[in-house]
């Protein structure tokens, strides 16, 4: 049985109901967070909590993070998974009137789901490279994901696993992950800005690279340089470090083999996650 938690109430997923007047449904007026639990512990929980707070604050939604995370703990206990993928969705709630502006009295809808999850090192993958068609506030983890959805579908239709995005001539991120490139002995990732999500895995990878003495910089990456780099990898909490070996357009990346820098980072990431709170 799949369990969820809706507004503090634990219930089987198939029993959960929200109103069609919920602003998450009508306007995409909400934010979310996704975390991985491995061996019974949520990885980088405090970083995810901070980012959820940032997203909530950015859209002027006032709700108690402590209560949300207490409900997450109850849900995980009920579902009984040791390894799980956890989604937190918070919308501005349901109002009887359909107005773009915020209703004066409304309480948020808080919906939590948990599903079984196997943490595996990612296989080599292909990515398409496309213009970033999304809005300009991608640091907010908004539930309004239509741009990301269309881009990911385009990737799947092209037999690829991700879409790497660029705005003007520069890489931003991918449709569900952050982007890193390896040039010789150096790793480069686009700097934090409104245009990208401050990925938790991105943060951990930067930390690991510093610890390993690998040279890593946050700098703009020209999209036309993607074809000249030695390696590309994408990061996310549910997929870890995902190496990209082929681009469309662009053909194979580097010499088509995983670089020793990538392998060192991936090993250290798996190790680091075991002890990350």
E strand or H helix that includes residue 171: strand 170-174
- How many chain residues touch ligand PMP (CB under 6 A)? 14
State in angstroms the smallest separation of the CB of 48 from ligand PMP. Answer: 7
Q: How far is CA 98 from the centre of its chain?
A: 30
Q: Which of 55, 94, 236, 266 is in the footprint of ligand PMP by CB under 6 A?
A: 236
78 vs 203, beta carbon nearer ligand PMP: 203
Pick between residue 94 and residue 236 the one whose CB is nearest to ligand PMP: 236
User: Least distance from C-beta 69 to ligand PMP, angstroms?
Assistant: 16
Residues 188-217 as x/- pattern, contact with ligand PMP by CB under 6 A: ---------x-xxxx---------------
Nearer to ligand PMP, 94 or 201 (CB): 201
Nearer to ligand PMP, 9 or 271 (CB): 271
Binding region for ligand PMP (CB under 6 A) out of 69-77, 156-164, 231-239, 253-261? 231-239
Q: Are 276 and 37 in contact (CB under 8 A)?
A: no
Question: Could you tell me the two tokens for 201?
Answer: 């895995």
Residues 6+ apart with CB under 8 A from 262: 182, 231, 233, 241, 243
Helix, strand and coil content of the chain, in percent to the nearest 5, comes to 30, 30, 40
Q: How far apart are CB 142 and ligand PMP at their closest, in Å?
A: 10
| Residue span 69-108 as binding mask against ligand PMP, x where in contact by CB under 6 A, dash where not | ----------------------------------------
Site string for ligand PMP, 170-189 (x = CB under 6 A): ---x--xxx-----------
Candidate list 45, 85, 126, 141, residue with the active-site label: 141
Question: Of the listed pieces 102-110, 121-129, 211-219, 229-237, which binds ligand PMP according to CB under 6 A?
Answer: 229-237
Question: Does residue 186 carry a catalytic annotation?
Answer: no
| Sites for ligand PMP among residues 4-63 (CB under 6 A) | 34
Q: In sequence order, what are the residues at sequence separation of 6 or more whose Cβ sits closer than 8 angstroms to the Cβ of residue 164? A: 127, 128, 129, 130, 171, 174, 179, 226, 232, 234, 244, 247
- CA–CA dist 260, 1 (Å, integer): 43
Q: Is the peptide bond before 249 cis (omega within 30 degrees of 0)?
A: yes
Q: Categorise residue 18: left if φ over 0, alpha if ψ from -120 to 50, beta otherwise.
A: beta
Long-range contacts (CB closer than 8 Å, 24 or more residues apart) made by 250-253: 250/129, 250/226, 251/227, 253/226, 253/227, 253/229
Q: Are 241 and 265 in contact (CB under 8 A)?
A: yes
Give catalytic residues, as residue numbers.
Answer: 141
Residues at the interface with ligand PMP (CB under 6 A)? 34, 148, 173, 176-178, 197, 199-202, 235-237
């Amino acid at each position: 049985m799949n369990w969820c938690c809706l507004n503090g109430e634990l219930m089987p997923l198939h029993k959960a109901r929200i109103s069609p007047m919920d602003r998450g449904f009508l306007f995409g007026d909400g934010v979310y967070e996704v975390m991985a639990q491995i061996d019974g512990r949520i990885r980088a929980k405090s970083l995810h909590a901070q980012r959820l707070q940032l997203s909530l604050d950015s859209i002027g939604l006032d709700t108690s993070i402590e209560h949300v995370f207490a409900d997450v703990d109850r849900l995980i206990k009920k579902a009984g998974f040791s390894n799980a993928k956890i989604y937190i969705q918070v919308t501005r709630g349901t109002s009887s009137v359909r107005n773009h502006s915020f209703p004066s009295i409304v309480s948020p809808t808080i919906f939590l789901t948990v599903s079984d999850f196997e943490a595996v090192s990612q296989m080599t993958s292909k990515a398409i490279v496309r213009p970033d068609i999304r809005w300009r506030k991608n640091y907010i983890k908004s539930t309004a994901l239509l741009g990301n959805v269309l881009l990911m579908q385009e990737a799947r239709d092209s037999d690829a696993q991700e879409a790497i995005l660029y705005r003007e001539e520069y890489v931003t991120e991918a449709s569900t992950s952050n982007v890193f490139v390896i040039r010789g002995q150096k790793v480069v990732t686009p700097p934090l800005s409104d245009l990208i999500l401050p990925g938790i895995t991105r943060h951990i990878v930067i930390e690991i690279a510093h610890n390993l003495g690998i040279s890593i910089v946050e700098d703009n990456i020209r999209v036309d340089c993607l074809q000249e780099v030695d390696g590309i990898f994408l990061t996310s909490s549910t997929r870890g470090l995902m190496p990209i070996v082929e681009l469309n357009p662009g053909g194979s990346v580097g010499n088509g083999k995983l670089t020793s820098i990538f392998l060192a980072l991936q090993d250290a990431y798996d190790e680091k996650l075991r002890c990350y709170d």
